[in-house]
Amino acid sequence: MKKKLAVVALGGNALSRGDQAGTIDEQEQNTTETLENLVFLIREGYDLVITHGNGPQVGNILMRNDAGEQVYNIAQMPIDICVADSQGGIGYMIERMFRNVLNKHKIEKNVVCIVTCVLVDTNDPAFNDPQKRIGKIYTREQADELASRKGWIFREEVKNIGGYRRVVPSPVPKDIMNQSIIRDLAVKGNIVIAAGGGGIPVYIDENYDVRPAEAVIDKDLASSLLASLISADEFYILTDVPYIYINYRKPDQQIREFLNYDDALKYLNEGQFAKGSMEPKIKACLNFIERGGRMSVITEAFKLADRKYGSKITMEYEDERR
């Protein structure tokens, strides 16, 4: 059996759902259910690199950060440290849950988590137009109060649960540090967890030193870049919808199960996909195909193993009809 290398991006909401309190028991259960869906890829001979979101989690870390300063006079940490904290915590949880899933299925594999820095450009226009949603959902009144008191920027939540979420800059990832190590570990049969939360945003200064950037990188764009840099065959985005839709949540909503590159790009340019939600996922999938990737898939986190679900994007339709 010819082995394939796949990068699988777990959405933050595949780990912590918006209608939950976000307890560790809930997150561990959600993570386990998601990882169960990856077992069939292992049995089909795939090497795996797992990436993950951190939107709800890093937002909670930032809120604890703020509460610690107000109540106990504990110095606040910058966003890059909070992203690193979320990488370590979520990566540990995924590693532990995956080891337990593998043990259940009698599969012997190493699972390793790599804290990953991702390079960004400080001149990226995203720093002047924050779009990345993080943290919990607030009411309009709560959002207005926090915006007035703390200078935070909020945008309306695009999903059907309503409310408002804080947004921060989300620059385009330019390069992934330790990419060769990630690939080397993966193709030797180890399951690698990397680029969590889009990676820790850093830049190189005039002295070639690594410096932090105050941002949260979109995990789908960073995952797509990582998939391309390590020459992955396939790229999966696991989220909370089973398909790509056009005219989403309108009377004429339609499923698009198979898309070629040109049609997906056309829908993107027509504005079919919401900013900060499905749009970066489509861009990430197209970027992977454009760089030579074989197939991108978007589907619901708990339905990957059921091949009747999921939208597949390839360069041409006939490449991946199953």
Alpha carbons 87 and 68: distance in angstroms, whole number: 20
End-to-end C-alpha distance for the chain, whole angstroms: 19
Neighbours of 141 (CB within 10 A): 9
> Is 109 one of the catalytic residues?
no
Please provide the DSSP assignment of 218-271 as one string.
Answer: -HHHHHHHHHHHTT-SEEEEEESSSSEEESTTSTT-EEE-EEEHHHHHHHHHTT
Alpha carbons 253 and 17: distance in angstroms, whole number: 24
Can you tell me whether residue 172 is helix, strand or coil? coil
> Is 312 one of the catalytic residues?
no
Distance of CA 34 to the CA centre of its chain: 14
User: What SS3 string covers 281-295?
Assistant: HHHHHHHHHHCCCCE
> Is 12 one of the catalytic residues?
yes
> Is 13 one of the catalytic residues?
yes
Can you tell me whether residue 232 is helix, strand or coil? coil
Q: Which of 11, 13, 91, 199 is catalytic?
A: 13
Alpha carbons 132 and 123: distance in angstroms, whole number: 17
> Is 65 one of the catalytic residues?
no
Q: Which of 11, 196, 281, 283 is catalytic?
A: 281
Q: Which of 11, 30, 135, 219 is catalytic?
A: 219
Q: Between the CA of residue 51 and those of 31, 58, 81, what are the distances in Å?
A: 12, 15, 18
Q: Which of 11, 12, 91, 199 is catalytic?
A: 12
Neighbours of 128 (CB within 10 A): 7
Alpha carbons 322 and 317: distance in angstroms, whole number: 11
State both tokens at 214. 């105050």
Q: Which of 65, 132, 287, 310 is catalytic?
A: 132
Among all residues, which ones are annotated catalytic? Answer: 12-13, 132, 219, 281
